[in-house]
Amino acid sequence: MVRWKDGVGWEPEARIESLETVAAHGIQIRCGDRTHIILLRVASAEAVMSAAGLQTDGQAAAIELDPDGKVLRAMAIGACTLRYKDRYLLSARMKNARASGLV
Distances (CA, A) of 32 to 14, 67, 94: 7, 9, 36
* pLDDT tens, residue by residue, 39-49: 999 999 999 99
Q: Is the pLDDT reported for residue 98 higher than 80?
A: no
Taking the domains of the chain in order of start, what are their residue ranges?
A: 15-102
DSSP secondary structure code for residue 44 in this structure: T
pTM confidence score: 0.83
Q: What gap in Å lies between CA 98 and CA 60, rounded to an integer?
A: 13
What pLDDT score was predicted for residue 12?
A: 79
Largest CA distance in the chain: 47
**Which amino acid is residue 58, in one-letter code?**
G
Give me the chain's average pLDDT, please.
Answer: 88
What pLDDT score was predicted for residue 2?
A: 57
Q: What is the mean pLDDT of residues 94-98?
A: 60
